[in-house]
Structure 1
Amino acid sequence: MKIKWFVYTTFAFMAFYGCKSDVLPKPKAMLRLDYPSASYQRLDESCVFSFDKNNISFIKENKDCSLVLDYPTMKGSIFITYKKVDGNIRELLVDAQKLTYEHVVKADGIAPKEYVNREENVYGMFYEVSGNAASQSQFYVTDSTNHFVTGSLYFYAKPNYDSILPAAIYLQKDIRRIMESLQWER
């Protein structure tokens, strides 16, 4: 009797626990995000400045030469703000840099890159922000006497650096194009 019970119990145990399939690791996969090749057109919104904008973006808002370039396919926007320089260039520069360095709490790093275009009288800084900060890029440009433009890149989602990195890189190229093509009204 004891042997039958042992055999039945052993058989039931092996049938119940021994019929599972082997666990296999998932194969490595690479995320594939294809963004269209950038094509640009001149944006002239009757402001004191103009620049090249990517054709996949559209102007979501334009008030007093401050505008929002919206990229719905990437769920992000570049916010551009214009301010007139009226003897307050120092304060404008401090505010622009302060806005960038407020992200240092969540950022892994902030890499500043100076921009100078003497021919068009455009001087500024581009900040690449890495990590889970709210904004992945910030910039400002000025002619130092009359005009000051700041810009920030934001996504519509909670920042997850690994997930938004491809879109951030694409939009950082657009920001550089904005800076490089910016011209002041003469």
Structure 2
Amino acid sequence: MKLRPVILFVCLLTIVCSCKEEAIPKPKAQIRLEYPEGKNVPLETDDFKFEYNEFARPDINKNNAFTLEYPEMKGAIFLSYKKVEGNIDKLIIDAKKLSYEHAIKADNIVEQPYINPDKKVYGALFEVQGNAASQSQFFVTDSTEHFLTGSVYFYAKPNYDSILPAAAYLQNDMRRIIETLEWK
């Protein structure tokens, strides 16, 4: 009988002492990816010239296709040049079609027109949001002779949250290409 008050006291003491603030688990740490701002380096072909990031490695083949490799990001900007031969409408439709083919996996596609009448460069930049294969595409033209398209691809399975910093970096480099582009 004497044990009952002791057991009751221990139980009450345990309940009172256990009523502390509830422990909340800490969130998992995430890597913060930052990439250095590169200097502009010129690239010149027979048909056009532009500036690109010094951290990219250009690879020019004979079929008017170019690759700017970013080995640290395991990504690349693929560029393709075509002469306009009365087929400007078809080239623009094909370029837009390529961008909107990613709509199946994309959460959103933002089309940003680009117009620079001083350099005769007209086109659009497409930002693809979501787990699509390519995060950005563009096309530019002078409407009479030249047509250039570009796409960003990564050598990894698309996971938008993981590649977002690298995709934004390459998209800025893509804008630099468009803004510094000059036709010959």
TM normalised by structure 2 equals: 0.84
Q: CA deviation at 1:36?
A: 0.9
Residue 122 of structure 2 is matched in structure 1 by 123
Aligned with 2:61: secondary structure?
A: strand
Cα separation, 1, equivalents of 2:30 and 2:109? 27
Residue 77 of structure 2 is matched in structure 1 by 78
Cα separation, 1, equivalents of 2:71 and 2:46? 24
Cα separation, 2, equivalents of 1:102 and 1:150? 15
Q: CA deviation at 1:28?
A: 4.6
Q: What is the aligned-residue identity percentage?
A: 57
Report if aligned partners of 1:139, 1:152 keep a CA contact under 8 Å in 2.
yes
Cα separation, 1, equivalents of 2:27 and 2:160? 23
Cα separation, 2, equivalents of 1:27 and 1:85? 54
User: Which range moved further: 64-73 or 108-117?
Assistant: 64-73
Aligned with 1:63: secondary structure?
A: coil
Report if aligned partners of 2:73, 2:166 keep a CA contact under 8 Å in 1.
yes
The runs of 4+ residues in structure 1 deviating greater than 6 Å are: none
User: Which range moved further: 114-123 or 52-61?
Assistant: 52-61
Letter in 1 for 2:141: T
Report if aligned partners of 1:47, 1:65 keep a CA contact under 8 Å in 2.
no
Letter in 2 for 1:50: K
Letter in 2 for 1:100: S
Report if aligned partners of 2:58, 2:69 keep a CA contact under 8 Å in 1.
yes
Q: CA deviation at 1:60?
A: 2.7
Aligned with 1:34: secondary structure?
A: coil
Cα separation, 2, equivalents of 1:28 and 1:158? 22
- 2:94 maps to 1:91: no
- 2:169 maps to 1:170: yes
Residue 16 of structure 1 is matched in structure 2 by none
Unaligned runs of 5+ in 1: 1-22
Q: CA deviation at 1:31?
A: 2.1
How many corresponding residue pairs?
162
